[in-house]
Amino acid sequence: MRYYSQFYGMLFTDQLNNTIELTSFPKRIVSLVPSQSELLWDLGLRTELVGITKFCIHPNELFKTVKRVGGTKTTDIEAIRTLKPDLIIGNKEENEHTQIVELQKEFNVWMSDIYNLNDALEMIRSIGKIVNKAAEAQVLSDTIYQSFSELKVINKRALYLIWKPYMAAGKATFIGDMLQRIGLENVLVDPQGRYPELNMADIKALDPELILLSSEPYPFKENHILEIKEQLTNAQIELVDGELFSWYGSRLKKSVQYFNDLISSIIYK
């Protein structure tokens, strides 16, 4: 959301309902979230983007040319100070709250809070307005929205694992929304659940038909399929691209084709 102050500049409200005020469109931006860094780059902010995290790996040119300021939860605040940003873009889930609070004392910080596709599209449009790329962001949002109308569905009871020791993506997550959109029933019961820790006994009790092992943040490999298969002989287990399930910026342009190919692979395997 953007509106104009009577006496000052432009006011923007983020997805946590915080308001920041800019006297002009930002010229020095630090992004603390990989998917949002890629979004800014794809919107054309090549010179304005002056700081990213070490996990902002896409595209490769961004990763190689823009200064890194630590991790998403281990931000180097002093490095950010040296960059003198007029805008910092973060995310409630991905960034450390105490560090964001400290940054808010000195800088304009716009925060996203993403639970589903609609939140992601709102974020894309909102960031577009802040960085003077509203038209480009609207086209991107419309393109992504339209692509999801072409999504195939598959009906299976599924569990999506993101970490080992085992941690799963619950229903109240962006990943959970992606699972629901492709027709998968998340076997985790709690509708407000985020990322519960599970042991093998828990997983057996949930009895998923399909287990998806994410490539990130934990890099599941073929050997993990074998480990789980020894315990759940009837479950179908697949390695999946975690970025295409969890990145909620411009990478969403690629998600539907990936999901459709994945569904075909699961069906015909």
Tens digits of residue pLDDT in 116-162: 999 999 999 999 999 999 999 999 999 999 999 999 999 999 999 99
Return residue ranges of the chain for CATH 3.40.50.1980: 2-146, 151-268
Distance CA 137, CA 155 (A): 33
Please tell me the predicted confidence (pLDDT) of residue 6.
46
Give me the pLDDT at residue 9, please. Answer: 77
Overall fold of domain 151-268: Rossmann fold (3.40.50)
- Looking at beta carbons, which pairs linking 228-236 to residues 24 or more positions away fall under 8 Å? 228/203, 231/200, 231/203, 231/204, 232/203, 232/204, 232/208, 234/209, 235/208, 235/209, 235/210, 235/211, 236/156, 236/209, 236/210, 236/211, 236/266, 236/269
**Amino acid (one-letter) located at 110:** W
Look at the domain 2-146 and name its fold: Rossmann fold (3.40.50)
Q: Which has the closest alpha carbon to 243: 253, 231, 255, 256? A: 255
Q: Which amino acid is at 60?
A: N
Ramachandran sector of residue 183 (left: φ over 0; alpha: ψ -120 to 50; beta: rest): left
Q: Tell me what pLDDT residue 8 has.
A: 56
Averaged pLDDT, groups of 10, the chain, 269 residues long: 57 97 97 98 98 97 97 98 98 98 98 98 98 98 98 97 97 97 95 93 97 97 96 96 98 98 90
**Cβ neighbours of 231 (radius 10 Å):** 11
State the pLDDT at residue 192.
Answer: 87
pTM: 0.94
